[in-house]
Structure 1
Amino acid sequence: MRADHPDREGRWAWRLTGAITLCVYVFMFAPIIATVVLSFNASMFGGFPLTGFSLRWYEKLLTNEPVLDAFRTSMWIALVTATVTTLLGIMAALALVRFEFRGKQAINTLVILPALVPETILGVGLLVMIKAVDQPRSMALLVLGHILLTLPYVVLIVQARMVGIKRSYEEAALSLGAPRVSTFREITLPLLIPAVLASILLAFTISFDNTSASLFWRPAGVETMPTQILSMLKISISPEVNALGTVMILLTVGIPLAGGLILQSLTWFKAGK
C-alpha cells in the first residue's frame, strides 16, 4: 500500500497539471475563436447564438478605405523592415560569429538588448528622444523603429544557424584562392538559406503585427493595421472589427506556418537528393 501511495500522488499531480494547462489554453484561445466565429455572424450585434452565416463584414472591409490604407501602410512597412533587417542581421551575425574584435561582447549585447526591453518602454523612450532633439515623427522613423525591434530576432536566428556551419568549408575555399565575397556567396549563404527565410518571415510578422511601438512612433494621420483596429474599437464594437481581427490572425499565424512548411519541404527535397 505504501509503495502505491507515491504513484497515486504522481498521477493526481499530472492530472492537476493537465487540467491547469487546459484552462490556460482555453483562456488564451477562447477570445480568438470567438472573434473568428463572430466575424461570420449575419447580425450586426455580435453575440451568441449566431443568427446566420454571412460574409457581409468581409465585403465591407473591401470597401472600407481607411482599412485598406492601413493595410497598404502595414504591408509596405513590414516588407521594408523584413528586407533591411535581414540584410543587417546577416552581416551582424557573420561579424559576431566569424570574427574576433575588441568590444565584440558589448556590441552583441547592444544588438540583442531591444528584445529584452518591453516594447512600451522602448516606444516611450524613443519618443522622448525624438521630442528632445525636436525631430517630428515620420514614416522613416517608424520604419527605423520597427527595424530596431526586429533586428535582435534576426541576429539570433542567423547566429544559431551560422554556429552550426563548419569553418572548414569556408577555409577550404579560401585556401584554394576564392575571394571572401565569392566564398560567402557560393558556400556560406546557401547554407544560411533556411535561417534567412525564417528571419524574413519573423521580421515581417513582428512588424506587421506591432501595436505598442507603432502607437508612439507613427506620424499624425498614419494608421497601421493594429492601430486602425484600436481606433475602430474606440468608436464602436462593429462586426467589421471581428472580420479585420480574423484577417490579422490569418496573416500573423498563417505566414510563419507557411514558411515552416516551405522550409520543411526544402529540407525533405535536399535529403531526397
Structure 2
Amino acid sequence: MAVQHARRNGPLALAFNAVVIAFMLAPLLVVCAVAFTPENTLSLPTTRWSLRWFEAVFAHPDFVQSFWNSLWLALASATLATAVAVPAGLALARHRFPGRDALNGLFLSPLVVPHLVLGVALLRLFGLVGGTGSFGWLVLAHALVIAPYVLRLVLAALVGFDRSVEQAAEALGAGPMTVFCRITLPMILPGVSGGWLLAFINSFDEVTMSIFVTAPSTVTLPVRMYMYATESIDPMMAAVSALMVAVTALAMVVLDRLVGLDRVLVGKA
C-alpha cells in the first residue's frame, strides 16, 4: 500500500504565515526593546541599553505589591477553578443526565460573556453581599472566569479514557476515592496540570473584569498598569510589560512541556 505524504505548505503560504507572526509579535518586541532604553521617554531606536527602568519597577512599592497580589490571586483562583472543574468534567464526560448540555453551557459561558459585563455584574453582586474589596471574593470572581479553561482540558483528557483499569481496581476492592487518587487522576494529570497553568496565565493577565472588583488593597498588576498609564506614560510601563511577557512566556513553555500547546489549541489530549 502506497504511503501518502502530507502536502507541505507552498512558498506563498509560508510567507503569509511569516507575515502574520511578525505582525503579532512586532508590538511585543518593540515594547521589550523600549524597556531597555535609558531615556525618559518611549523612544526607538536607542544607541544605549540600560536596566534603569527595571530597577525603577522593583523600587516602586505599588508595582511590587500589585505583583504579589496578582501572583497569589492567580495561584488561589487557578487551584479553586481546578478543584471545581475536575469533578465537573468527570460528571459531564461519563454520565448522561437531564440538563447535562445546559450545565456544560453554563460552565463554559464565561468564555462567551464579555468580561466587561461580568465585571459590572460581579460588582453589583459583591455590593449586595458585602464582599466588595475582599480578596476571597476576588478569588471567586477570577475562578469563575478561568474555570472553563480547566474544564476544556479535563474533558479533552477524558476523551478515549480507558476505564478498564478503574474497573479492575474496583474489582480488587479499591474504593472510589482510592481509584480516583491512584488511577484516574494520574492518568489525566497532564490535562489537569495544563488546565491549571492555562488558568493561572489568564488570571494573572486579567484586567477588564478586575478593574470593577478590586479594592485599593487588592489591586492587581494589570490594573495597576492601567491606572499608571492614565497618569503618565514612560519606559517603566514598558519594563513592567516586558516582565509580564517574560512570566507569560515562561508559563507557556511549561504548559507546552506538560501537555503540548497543540493539544490546548485544538482541545484534544
Give me the TM-score of the superposition, normalised by structure 1.
0.85
Distance of aligned partners of 1:263 and 1:104 in 2 relative to their CA distance in 1, 3 Å threshold: closer
How big is the shift at 1:211?
Answer: 0.6
Preserved contact between residue 78 and residue 197 of structure 2 (Cα < 8 Å): yes
Preserved contact between residue 43 and residue 52 of structure 1 (Cα < 8 Å): no
Matched, 1:156 2:149: no
Preserved contact between residue 42 and residue 51 of structure 1 (Cα < 8 Å): no
Higher Rg of the two aligned structures? 1
How big is the shift at 1:262?
Answer: 4.5
Partner amino acid for 2:255? G
How big is the shift at 1:131?
Answer: 4.1
From 78, 83, 87, the counterpart of 2:79:
83
Per the alignment, residue 171 of structure 2 pairs with 175
What is the rounded CA distance, in whole Å, between the counterparts of 1:237 and 1:66 in structure 2? 16
What is the rounded CA distance, in whole Å, between the counterparts of 2:17 and 2:187 in structure 1? 38
From 56, 66, 70, the counterpart of 1:70:
66
Give me the TM-score of the superposition, normalised by structure 2.
0.86
Preserved contact between residue 77 and residue 139 of structure 2 (Cα < 8 Å): yes
Per the alignment, residue 240 of structure 1 pairs with 236
The 5 A counterparts of 1:21-60 are: 21-60=17-56
What is the rounded CA distance, in whole Å, between the counterparts of 2:172 and 2:46 in structure 1? 70
From 222, 228, 235, the counterpart of 2:224:
228
Per the alignment, residue 256 of structure 2 pairs with 260
Q: CA RMSD in A?
A: 2.1
How big is the shift at 1:48?
Answer: 1.8
Preserved contact between residue 93 and residue 159 of structure 1 (Cα < 8 Å): yes
Partner amino acid for 1:224? T
Matched, 1:211 2:195: no
How big is the shift at 1:101?
Answer: 3.0
What is the rounded CA distance, in whole Å, between the counterparts of 1:89 and 1:193 in structure 2? 13
What is the rounded CA distance, in whole Å, between the counterparts of 1:62 and 1:220 in structure 2? 19
What is the rounded CA distance, in whole Å, between the counterparts of 2:169 and 2:182 in structure 1? 9
Q: Over residues 189-208 of structure 1, what are the superposed CA-to-partner deviations in whole Å (9 max), with x where a residue is unaligned?
A: 11011012101211110100
What is the rounded CA distance, in whole Å, between the counterparts of 1:133 and 1:143 in structure 2? 15
Partner amino acid for 1:208? F
Q: Over residues 66-121 of structure 1, what are the superposed CA-to-partner deviations in whole Å (9 max), with x where a residue is unaligned?
A: 00000010001001011111111111111112233332222111111111212112
Partner amino acid for 1:241? M
Identical counterparts, % of pairs: 34
Partner amino acid for 2:79? T
